Amino acid sequence: MADKPQKLWGGRFAKSTDKAVEEFTASVHFDSRLFEQDIRGSIAHAKMLGKCGIIPQADSEKIVKGLQELLSDYRQGLVTFDPSAEDVHMNVEKLLSAKIGEPAGRLHTARSRNDQVATDIRLWMKDEIDAITRLMTEFQQVLVDTASEHLDTLMPGYTHLQHAQPVLLAHHLLAYFWMIERDKGRFMDCKRRADVLPLGSGALAGTGFPIDREFVAQELGFARISENSLDAVSDRDFISEFLAAAAISMTHLSRFAEELVLWSSPEFGFVELDDSVTTGSSIMPQKKNPDAAELTRGKTGRVFGGLMTILTVQKGLPLSYNRDLQEDKEPLFDAADTLRGALSVFIPMIATAQFKPDRMRRSLHGDFSTATDLADYLVRTGMPFRKAHEVVGKLVAECIASSKGLEDLTLDDLKSIAPELTGDALMLLQPENSAASRSIPGGTARSAVEKQLQAAKSLLSVS
């Protein structure tokens, strides 16, 4: 029995597609996610075809009505996708044909799946960026609210995970506010470059039909149309940018997650995470595991992998469209889902976290984190900084040998290493005074952090 010709591609093929090839090339199992965007793009395209007289106005209206009904069906869960129709675009066309008959065959006039899918992804991405940045703003609000409650909570500031200098917990939390603010900026930059309509570029060379691309751009809310048809159908820079922004955002969340994992351990005891964002052990009754933080840290690698995937897919492609670009969607969708999921758990995780001011303050005792303050004091007396660094370093060594902290020293102890020291120097050895002395803009003094908080609140008020 002879193979049946491929119905999908018309008269060119005499044989049906091999089943293995059909399964290998199908994408509807993941690009069906673009259904709504494909409908929106198709409605705008159909309206334009009728407006420009490229297809009969009556057919244009039937197509638009049929597409609107399909969208309603989809939102009610009444649409079933056919894997043999390969992708979301052909599924829409098949479903539309079943609904309105012959006029559906006119919808694909003056467009290709190449410019169609590029349009769908850009529409989806613009919506996704809005959703992600809204979550980021909500997370920033939680950070601001939590920081406002801890303007007097002292804790060790770290470098190399070693106690370095005293800082306010509010200052530490706001460091993540500014990281997220940069993340939002990267996503909005990405959205600006994604806000370009490729529809009308055809397969690669444009179209000979007298279409109105500006009309379609206006219908779909695009800021401008693409300038070069070859570039428009093969450009996935905006996906690379999205994945890069997502990877950086996940890096920031992963860093915070690592701190929460450490801080919630008995060795630190800086925070207790709420029962609602932690899990227990299958064997150890006492355990309270920071799984949401750990999984955020672990899932970050998925987003890194997505970025590497899209860069690798593009690196050897000649102009213009190549089927390799079908591989752009799964890493994109996965990265977006992963980032939104991480933000969605971080918001309640920080909002319900119980930070431990007393434990944080006790951890500063005997940690020598005010040593720099003493060295700076010596500099103000006229001693070169390198000499002051050496003098205080020797003092720290002596304290360690005698099991003392800097805050345990007397004025006589200080004068023994630097006779020019006065009682003022003793005050500097208290962590509260150390933090309070750093009142420059961006510093950890309460006065500076209050100004920082106000700047953060001002940004949120216009978000």
Q: What is the mean pLDDT of each run of 10 residues along the chain (463 residues)?
A: 50 79 86 97 98 98 98 97 93 97 97 98 98 98 98 98 97 98 98 98 98 98 98 98 98 98 97 96 92 97 98 97 96 98 98 98 96 93 92 92 91 86 88 96 98 98 86
Beta bridge partners of 224: 196
State the pLDDT at residue 84: 87
Closest to 141 (Cα-Cα) out of 454, 352, 456, 444: 456
Q: Is 281 assigned a catalytic role? A: yes
Q: What type of residue is 29?
A: H
Domain 26-109, CATH among 1.20.1080.10, 1.10.510.10, 1.10.275.10, 3.40.50.2300: 1.10.275.10
Dihedral sign for Cα atoms in the order 242, 143, 355, 406: positive
- Quickly list H helices, 8-34: 19-25, 28-31
State the pLDDT at residue 141: 98
Of 160, 403, 458, 461, which is the active-site residue? Answer: 160
CA distance 419 to 381: 11
State the pLDDT at residue 59: 98
CA distance 13 to 27: 21
Query: Where do the domains of the chain lie?
Result: 26-109, 114-362, 371-461
Instruction: Give burial (CB, 10 Å; 0-12/13-18/19+) of 16.
Output: middle
8 Å CB contact between 176 and 170? no
SS3 category, 272: strand
Closest to 46 (Cα-Cα) out of 124, 109, 117: 109
Listed in sequence order, the residues at least 6 apart from 331 whose beta carbon sits closer than 8 Å to its beta carbon are 243, 305, 306, 307, 309, 310
CATH architecture of the domain with residue range 371-461 = Orthogonal Bundle (1.10)
State the pLDDT at residue 416: 85
State the pLDDT at residue 9: 56
State the pLDDT at residue 3: 47
State the pLDDT at residue 6: 54
Q: Can you give the pTM of this predicted structure? A: 0.94
- Quickly list H helices, 111-151: 113-148
CA distance 241 to 193: 9
For domain 114-362, the CATH class is mainly alpha
State the pLDDT at residue 5: 47
CA distance 231 to 227: 8
SS3 category, 80: coil
Of 265, 281, 416, 463, which is the active-site residue? Answer: 281
Using H for helix, E for strand and C for coil, what is the string for 226-260?
CCCHHHHHHCCHHHHHHHHHHHHHHHHHHHHHHHH
SS3 category, 288: coil
Which helix (H) or strand (E) covers residue 159, if one does?
A: strand 154-159
Helix 57-75 and helix 88-100, axial crossing angle in degrees, nearest 10: 110
8 Å CB contact between 392 and 375? yes
Matching residue, tokens 């290493």: 417
